[in-house]
Amino acid sequence: MKKLFIVFTLEIIFISCTNSKEQHLPVEGRWIKGSEQEKIKIIEKQFRGLDKAMVEIGYRYQELYWGGQDKNWDYANYQLKKIKKALKLGLQRRPNRAKSAEHFLNNVIPEMKKAIDAKDKNLFNEKIEFMRNSCTACHAYAGEESYPSFKVGIPTDRQSPIR
């Protein structure tokens, strides 16, 4: 009886899957209006440029720092990967900023990765200083491109409860 029930149930699932036709319904949003091209422009505006990526990178920089201070190398490595990903995604939205990010992608991140892999807090602190100075230099360069420049500091307060 049990086998018959299982076979019957599987037949119903199979029949319902094969009978359903793929429906191509238009995507409708409450706030996304206009032609397909206009909708794409609206969505692109929501993702914005590099500024949203920089908010994430700033948060992850702090977490990277604390991961290194705690010698939590797996966590530090995770944050470094996410910094790289956020920067690359931001550069897809703002490819004209790629030149100013080259040093960061080609030098800073690989150097920080070496320090994390070495599991050496002193080397990590050296490389976090290199990263911090590189961030500040990049933002100073961005200031010449009519973006505000500022100095990146060493984190002093933890925002996350992760230890």
6-20, 107-121, 146-160: which is most confident = 107-121
Confidence (pLDDT) at 72:
97
Is 79 a domain residue?
yes
Confidence (pLDDT) at 117:
98
Which of the two residues, 55 and 146, has the higher pLDDT score?
55
Is 59 a domain residue?
yes
Is 56 a domain residue?
yes
User: Does residue 147 carry a pLDDT above 80?
Assistant: no
CA separation for the pair 61, 82 (Å, rounded): 10
Is 140 a domain residue?
yes
- Domain span at 136: 48-144
Confidence (pLDDT) at 127:
98
DSSP string, the chain: -HHHHHHHHHHHHHHHHHHPPPP-PPP--SS--SSHHHHHHHHHHHH-SHHHHHHHHHHHHHHHHHHHHTT-HHHHHHHHHHHHHHHHHHHHH-GGGHHHHHHIIIIIHHHHHHHHHHT-HHHHHHHHHHHHHHHHHHHHHHHHTTS---------S--S---
What percent of the chain shows pLDDT beyond 70? Answer: 78
Q: Which tokens go with 61?
A: 């920089």
User: Does residue 2 carry a pLDDT above 70?
Assistant: no
Is 58 a domain residue?
yes
Confidence (pLDDT) at 74:
98
Q: What is the pLDDT of residues 16-40, one digit of tens each?
A: 555 555 555 565 667 888 888 988 8
What is the number of domains present in the chain? 1
Is 1 a domain residue?
no
What percent of the chain shows pLDDT beyond 90? Answer: 47
**Residue type for 64, please?**
L
Is 24 a domain residue?
no
**b/e burial code for range 76-104 (CB count within 10 A of at least 16 → b):** bbbbbebbbebbeebbeeeeebeebbeeb
Write the CATH number for 92: 1.20.120
In degrees and rounded to multiples of 5, residue 31 shows phi and psi of -115, -10
Is 35 a domain residue?
no
